[in-house]
């Protein structure tokens, strides 16, 4: 309420003074301008080991990527690295430090290619220019290796050009390119060696077949095919090798690195796509820079010395920013946290393209068979700015995951969260209110997704974690304003600021005003499409039953409920169209609470009353519909004609039964809290040395089937549980009995300690964070390098208190 009053007061002052009437809009525009400038360039091609593109430049993007392979033997080309692949079996890959506003450092250990690779990405302070420093050294110096690095650049779109400074192919150690595009303006790119020796052990096979020189080739590649750079390179190289063989040029083992240099044997005319290949002798380390400068910028990066200075500055700045946000004393834990956060931020990507949507397939909700979406149509193009769960396995936007990602990012860069939420919210359709649960935009993104999962359908929802996150943002803003009430100082907007939305509530107000109509449509779509069939329940539920506030997940099958996000978590067997899902009701409660908060900020009293009533109805329905007094927990329910009471509880103790507590829907004075604390802390059921299990060890479905959400520890849910324990019991729990409060403190302390100890152990041994953790051993399982919601361990280490 205070946040709303402060905003209303501020706006009233603006309106009262004619000379300042334009100030508010000017501040919003300046905030957006500085944000866009600081986030213009970054390695936004999340699916690449390293790939740069600009944000919000859709017609004329400059695309850059890096590839490498071992050129010392003919089979090395088969290990050409480009897209992040788990099957590459790299010993390590990922960011050690990173912030999309500043840059960072990525480290790669590629044993098969005998290469220790370090990539620094930095930007000028105005955000308009950038540089990449590529440094490499052998992992085993006793091997006579030759490492070939391939940089590709493409100026896409009509009216764009990218050409050699001298108008012809260059083979010098310094490559100079000049480019121009309507959206980017005029720019220059230089690629220049700093140290290292190009390969000279064997004789050159010809003037353009020489590993001792940089090979530069340009050609025309359609913009929607740039992502196939690896295939194009391999095809051209194969043709070149075949040409060498048929020409009868004598070759020996020492000539192989030269033979594996790309060249233009087909005499393609110069185009806007460029390959630049350098092959280094790994007898010593090597280093080269790629520097981009916009000609209109006042802060050009003029030399490699300036790149070195920017690397030094950015490294210090990144460490200082981390320390200012997270208090982690132990050096090993701190490194673990820094790298985990860096890789979450390093997974932020910008996507633009069409999506595949099936709007015509009708669901037979009484069959519960696997849904086949066989009538896809391309729609768009649209754009998305989003982090990804995993660069190797899920390099695309996930609605269900993204809210959890932003709960972590919020602790580091509050304003960045708004940019990402805004990108998602603006994709909500004006007429229907739908947004896809997966956003797979364009052919590059689709190339990483099995065909059966590429098509989206407007009937299928997901847990609305984005509204959970937005609700948290509003709560944080209100708490911040509460803390400075009466003594707030004016704060100026600066490009380096990451908390302007906390300091300046009118900026958050502006965003809320802009997206409220879309969020309202989305709320209506979500609750309308997932509303349950309640007619039969009306016969057995009388007092306190609100039939409009009962929900189920549309699209569940006999074995899976993918829309819930908890894919194989046990549900009613056999399925029934009239079953009601506890977690769907809980997420509807979060949506209603968030909409109430937004309406309150916007001073919409009628809307506040409406959503307050809906939220209260949902909380009452938790007890009326889903509370099982015998098992002392909330459960799914279904209609069973053979059951005496018609309503049958479907109780599988685990994440679903814990969700009303995890989402803070249980009243603080409820006597049911004691049962939650006992269940969470029960070592015979859910509590383990590695975290709270997804399903009770005593459940009949524990560890059955694919055992995805039937046992393993998931960090996103454990984070919610810790946060809720903090919410209900910090300070002892005012309305709880002493025994429950003491038990809650013990569960909180042990759970936090166990999660940190186990995840840090696995990271120390394997070098990665995982999708989930085995319920018996604690070892990482599922997708490797899953620095999506598993990155919430950073909050657990650096923000949540050690004890309640």
Query: Which residues are designated catalytic?
Result: 567, 771
**C-beta separation of 351 from 386 below 8 A:** yes
- Which helix (H) or strand (E) segment holds residue 692: the answer is strand 691-692
CA pair distance 616, 598, nearest whole angstrom: 17
- Number of residues that this document lists for the chain: 804
Q: Who contacts 283 (Cβ-Cβ below 8 Å, separation ≥6)?
A: 138, 141, 144, 197
CA pair distance 47, 43, nearest whole angstrom: 10
Tokens 């064997």 locate to: 202
CA nearest to 465, candidates 417, 416, 514: 417
CA pair distance 233, 677, nearest whole angstrom: 58
CA pair distance 428, 522, nearest whole angstrom: 7
Q: Map 310-355 to HEC letters.
A: HHHHHHHHHHHHHHHHCCCCCHHHHHHHHHHHHHHHHCCEEEEEEE
CA nearest to 162, candidates 221, 81, 85: 221
Please compute Rg for the chain using Cα positions.
28
Q: Which residues pair with 281 in a beta bridge?
A: 146
Query: How are the residues of the chain apportioned to helix, strand and coil, as percentages rounded to the nearest 5?
Result: 40, 20, 40
- Which helix (H) or strand (E) segment holds residue 218: the answer is strand 215-219
Query: Using omega within 30 degrees of 0 as the cis cutoff, is the peptide bond preceding 574 cis?
Result: yes
Q: What is the dihedral of CA 624, 628, 633, 638, to 10 degrees?
A: -80
Q: How many CB atoms lie within 10 A of CB 280?
A: 28
CA nearest to 55, candidates 389, 439, 349, 396: 349
Q: Which residues pair with 186 in a beta bridge?
A: 180
CA pair distance 488, 509, nearest whole angstrom: 18
**C-beta separation of 717 from 694 below 8 A:** yes
| DSSP for 603-652, written as a single string | T-HHHHHHHHHHHHHHHHHIIIIIEETTTTEE-EEEE-TTSTTSEEEE--
Counting DSSP H helices and E strands in the chain, the numbers are: 19, 27
CA pair distance 153, 53, nearest whole angstrom: 10
Phi, psi of 33 (to 5 degrees): -65, -50
Query: And the tokens for 160?
Result: 């764009």
**C-beta separation of 712 from 781 below 8 A:** yes
CA nearest to 176, candidates 163, 186, 185, 158: 163
Query: And the tokens for 644?
Result: 């005496």
Question: Considering Cα of 692, then 759, then 121, then 314, what sign does the dihedral take?
Answer: positive
């Amino acid at each position: 309420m205070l946040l709303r009053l402060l905003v209303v007061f501020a706006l009233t002052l603006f309106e009262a003074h004619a000379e300042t009437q334009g100030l508010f809009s000017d501040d919003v525009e300046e905030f957006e301008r500085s944000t866009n400038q600081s986030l213009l360039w970054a390695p936004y091609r999340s699916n690449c080991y390293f790939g740069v593109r600009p944000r919000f430049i859709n017609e004329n993007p400059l695309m850059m990527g890096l590839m490498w392979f071992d050129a010392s033997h003919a089979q090395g080309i088969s290990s050409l690295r480009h897209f992040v692949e788990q099957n590459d079996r790299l010993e390590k890959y990922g960011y050690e430090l990173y912030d999309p506003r500043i840059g960072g450092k990525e480290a790669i250990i590629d044993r098969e290619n005998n290469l220790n690779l370090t990539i620094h990405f930095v930007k000028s302070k105005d955000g308009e220019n950038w540089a990449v420093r590529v440094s490499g050294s052998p992992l085993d110096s006793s091997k006579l290796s030759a490492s070939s690095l391939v940089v590709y650049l493409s100026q896409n779109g009509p009216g764009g050009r990218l050409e050699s400074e001298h108008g012809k192919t260059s083979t010098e150690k310094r490559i100079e390119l000049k480019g121009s595009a309507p959206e980017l303006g005029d720019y220059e790119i230089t690629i220049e060696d700093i140290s290292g020796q190009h390969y000279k052990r064997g004789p050159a096979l010809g003037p353009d077949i020489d590993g001792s020189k940089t090979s530069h080739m340009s050609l025309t590649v359609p913009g929607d095919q740039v992502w196939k750079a690896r295939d194009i390179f391999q095809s051209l190289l194969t043709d070149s090798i075949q040409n060498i063989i048929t020409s009868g040029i004598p070759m020996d083992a020492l000539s192989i690195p030269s033979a594996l240099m790309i060249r233009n044997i087909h005499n393609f005319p110069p185009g806007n796509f460029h390959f630049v290949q350098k092959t280094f002798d790994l007898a010593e380390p090597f280093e080269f820079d790629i520097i981009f400068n916009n000609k209109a910028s006042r802060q050009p990066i003029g030399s490699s010395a300036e790149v070195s200075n920017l690397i030094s500055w950015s490294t210090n700045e990144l460490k200082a920013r981390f320390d200012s946000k997270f208090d982690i004393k132990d050096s090993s834990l701190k490194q673990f946290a820094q790298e985990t956060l860096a890789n979450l931020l390093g997974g932020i990507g910008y996507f633009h393209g069409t999506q595949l949507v099936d709007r015509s397939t009708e669901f037979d909700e009484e069959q519960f068979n696997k849904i086949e979406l066989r009538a896809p149509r391309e729609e768009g193009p649209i754009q998305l700015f989003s982090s990804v769960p995993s660069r190797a396995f899920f390099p695309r936007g996930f609605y269900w995951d993204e809210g959890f990602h932003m709960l972590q990012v919020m602790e580091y860069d509050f304003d960045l969260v708004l940019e990402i939420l805004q990108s998602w919210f603006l994709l909500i359709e004006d007429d229907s209110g739908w947004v896809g649960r997966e956003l797979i935009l364009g052919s590059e993104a689709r190339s990483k997704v099995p065909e059966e999962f590429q098509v989206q359908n407007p009937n299928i929802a997901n847990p609305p974690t984005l509204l959970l996150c937005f609700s948290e943002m509003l709560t944080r803003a209100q708490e911040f304003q509460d803390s400075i009430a009466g003594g707030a100082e004016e704060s100026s907007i600066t490009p380096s600021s990451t908390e302007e939305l906390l300091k300046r509530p009118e900026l958050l107000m502006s965003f809320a005003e802009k997206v409220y109509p879309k969020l309202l449509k989305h709320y209506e779509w979500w609750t309308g499409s997932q509303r349950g069939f309640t007619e039969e329940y009306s016969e057995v539920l009388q007092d306190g039953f609100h039939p409009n506030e009962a929900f189920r997940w549309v699209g569940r099958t006999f074995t899976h409920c993918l829309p819930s996000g908890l894919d194989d978590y046990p549900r009613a067997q056999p399925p029934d169209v009239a079953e009601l899902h506890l977690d769907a009701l809980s997420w509807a409660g979060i949506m209603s609470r968030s909409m109430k908060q937004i309406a309150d900020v916007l001073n919409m009293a009628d809307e506040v009353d409406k959503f307050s009533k809906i939220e209260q109805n949902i909380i009452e329905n938790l007890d009326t519909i889903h509370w099982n007094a015998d098992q002392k927990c909330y459960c799914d329910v279904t209609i069973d004609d053979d059951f005496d009471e018609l309503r049958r509880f479907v109780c599988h103790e685990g994440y679903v039964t814990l969700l009303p507590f995890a989402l803070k829907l249980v009243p603080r004075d409820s006597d049911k809290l004691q049962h939650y604390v006992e269940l969470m802390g029960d070592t015979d059921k859910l509590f383990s040395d590695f975290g709270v299990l997804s399903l009770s060890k005593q459940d009949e479905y524990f560890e059955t089937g694919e055992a995805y959400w039937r046992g393993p520890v998931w960090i996103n849910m454990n984070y919610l549980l810790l946060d809720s324990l903090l919410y209900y019991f910090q300070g002892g729990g005012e309305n709880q009995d002493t025994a429950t409060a003491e038990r809650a403190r013990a569960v909180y302390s042990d759970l936090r300690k166990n999660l940190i100890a186990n995840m840090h152990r696995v990271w120390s041994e394997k070098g990665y964070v995982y999708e989930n953790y085995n319920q018996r051993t604690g070892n990482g399982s599922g997708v490797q390098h899953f620095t999506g919601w598993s990155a919430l361990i950073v909050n657990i280490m650096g923000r949540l208190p050690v004890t309640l």
